[in-house]
Every structure is written in C-alpha cells, then in structure tokens.
C-alpha cells in the first residue's frame, strides 16, 4: 500500500481527505521541527511527502527517498526544497499559492498600521510603566493618508496590499521585473518606478517577492542609505531578502526610522538587538496564519497527493515536471 508522510502537524482537513483513499498516513506530531535524521527515516519508504515550508528537503534527504513520487509543500514558497535536484529525480514539487494572499495582505496592512501608530509599543507601555493620561504631545505616531507606500514585488500579495492601502489615500509606487498593464496600475493607484526611486521617495517600504539567488540580500546597507531617515520597512515575505545585520545597524544609527518583521534571515532565531528596539515590531511568521488560509492550504496538498496516487495531473508544480 502506498504511503504518505506528513512532516509536521497541519490542519485535520488534510488527513480527512487522505483517509478517503487507500493511503497509509504517517504524520510527525512533535511540536519541535522535524530533524534531518527523523525525516530520512520516514521518507525511506514513502511514496508521497507533505512538508511544511520550515522543513528543509535537500539532496541528502531526497537520496534517502527512493520511492518518492511527489513533494507537496505546505506553503507558497519552496526555497526549503532543492527543486532542481527533485526535477532530476523526476519528482514533482508543488506549492500552495493564491490561498494565502488575503491573509498575508491583511497581516501586512496590520503591521503597517501598528508600526505607524505605535500600537505594539503602546501596548508594551501599558503592560509595564503605564501612562499619566492623555496629553497633546504624548506618544505621537503618523497617519497613513498622504504617505507614499513603496511595494517591492507587485504579484498577487503585493497587489492585494496595494488594493487595501489605496483605500487609505496613500500614493503607491512599485517595482519589479515586469511592469503591470496600465489598466491594472490605474485600478490599484500604483506607479511603476525603478528600485532606487522607490527607496528614495517612499515613507513605507514593504516586500512581497520570493527568495531566490537574485533577491537574497536585495536590501542592505546601500539600499537603507537611499531611504528617507523617517521611512519604515515591512517584511512579510522571506527573511534573507534583507541583510539583517545591515538593517540592525541602520536602525541603531537612525538611517531609517523603524521596521516590522514577520520573517527573519536566520529564522526562527532573532537577534537580541532587534528584540530590544522599541521602533521594531516582531511577529513569528504569521503572514498566512489564519484558519481559512491554512485549511485551504491543507486541501491543496491533500488533493494533489490524491491526484498523484491516482496518476492524475497535480496542480501548482514549481519545478517544471
């Protein structure tokens, strides 16, 4: 009987769908992330692998999985998987795009509002020293209206963010490899510019692009120096897109005014320097952490596994098979 290994706890919706088949279901249920040795042990006789994006599936792991016919990644990104080597082994790799767009866009919007209005900082104040009462100059933040939002990467999530922030009467700049149709730009209220101009003119910069060889450390010391000293940075994409050491220095030296991070270069590790900064919001990779998004993702990985079991086409293949 064919076997599917699920390398981490995911919504019950996936197991419910998989149980309608003849598959043997093996799931890793520890709260800690699975280690390489345990993963190798379980994939050794597995036909299908469902894995969270936090689990590394490299060449070594794949060499220990001679029966593997599909890797269904529970996440939109696939930088945790050696997709090129999987292609050489003729193992399709799929992801779960689209369904996390709304949740990630809403989360990004929340980070922008919280950072500009100092909401997280205010919450910390009330839980520690408290305050003396309302005063005209006390704890001032900034309105979004009239501030320029710069979006690096105007794909599905970036466009969803633009749609929401356009309602705040914010001028929107964007940059990416390919310009959108003018009709879509008008609809979103977004203007295409090159990255340097975006960094120079934006009051808020938010990242919405995948991690690859071209985007790793896309923003570093040089780019932070191009930003306004009053600007803030939001990252709910992938941590290594930012040179985190350079960001820490830029924040310490007031090169930029603040940051809100949902992802980290050395995730799940976060530097003590960032933790100590009042002008930084840190959240634990919550971009698509909603019941709705995660259940939709669970449905995709389960349905793709079932399709592969039946020899039917699978959706969202990312490695060209």
Predicted local confidence at residue 110, as pLDDT: 98
What is the 8-class DSSP label of residue 3? E
Q: What is the pLDDT of residues 161-218, one digit of tens each?
A: 999 999 999 999 999 999 999 999 999 999 999 999 999 999 999 999 999 999 999 9
Domain 101-282 belongs to what topology? Rossmann fold (3.40.50)
Q: What is the pLDDT of residues 255-292, one digit of tens each?
A: 999 999 999 999 999 999 999 999 999 999 999 999 99
Domain 3-97+291-310 belongs to what topology? Rossmann fold (3.40.50)
Predicted local confidence at residue 215, as pLDDT: 96
> pTM of this prediction?
0.91
Q: How many helices (H) and strands (E) does the chain have?
A: 13, 12
Domain parsing of the chain, residue ranges: 3-97+291-310, 101-282
Catalytic site residues? 238, 267, 285
Residue 29 near residue 51 (C-beta atoms within 8 A): no
Query: For the chain, which ranges sit under pLDDT 50?
Result: none
Predicted local confidence at residue 303, as pLDDT: 97
Nearest 5°: the CA angle 86, 88, 94 is 35
Asked whether the bond before 268 is cis by omega within 30 degrees of 0, the reply is yes
Predicted local confidence at residue 320, as pLDDT: 87
Sign of CA dihedral 148, 149, 154, 158: negative
Query: What residue ranges in 216-307 does DSSP mark as E strands?
Result: 232-235, 258-261, 280-282
Predicted local confidence at residue 321, as pLDDT: 75
């Amino acid at each position: 009987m064919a076997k599917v290994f699920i390398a981490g706890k995911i919504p019950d919706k996936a197991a419910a769908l998989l149980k309608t088949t003849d598959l043997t279901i093996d799931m890793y249920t520890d709260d800690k992330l699975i280690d390489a040795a345990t993963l190798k042990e379980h994939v050794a006789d597995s036909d299908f692998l469902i894995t969270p994006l936090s689990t590394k599936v490299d060449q070594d792991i794949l060499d220990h999985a001679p029966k593997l016919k599909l890797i269904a990644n529970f996440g939109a990104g696939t930088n945790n998987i050696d997709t090129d080597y999987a292609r050489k082994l003729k193992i399709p790799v799929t992801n779960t795009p689209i369904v996390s767009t709304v949740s990630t866009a809403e989360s990004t919007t929340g980070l922008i509002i919280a950072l500009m209005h100092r909401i997280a900082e205010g919450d910390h104040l009330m839980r520690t020293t408290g305050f003396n009462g309302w005063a005209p100059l006390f704890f001032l933040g900034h309105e979004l209206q009239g501030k320029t939002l710069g979006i690096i990467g105007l794909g599905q999530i970036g466009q969803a963010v633009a749609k929401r922030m356009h309602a705040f009467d914010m001028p929107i700049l964007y940059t990416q490899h390919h310009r959108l149709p003018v009709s879509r730009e008008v609809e979103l209220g977004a203007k295409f510019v090159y990255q340097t101009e975006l960094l120079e003119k934006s009051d808020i910069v938010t990242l919405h692009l995948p991690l690859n060889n071209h985007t790793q450390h896309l923003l570093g010391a040089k780019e932070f120096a191009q930003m306004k000293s009053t600007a803030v940075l939001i990252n709910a994409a992938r941590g290594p897109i930012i040179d985190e050491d350079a960001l820490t220095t830029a924040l310490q030296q007031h090169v930029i005014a603040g940051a809100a991070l949902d992802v980290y270069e050395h995730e799940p590790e976060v530097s003590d320097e960032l933790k100590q900064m009042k002008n930084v919001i840190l959240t634990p990779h919550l971009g698509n952490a909603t019941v709705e998004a995660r259940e939709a993702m669970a449905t995709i990985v389960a349905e793709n596994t079932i399709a592969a079991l039946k020899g039917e086409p699978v959706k969202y293949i990312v490695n060209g098979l």
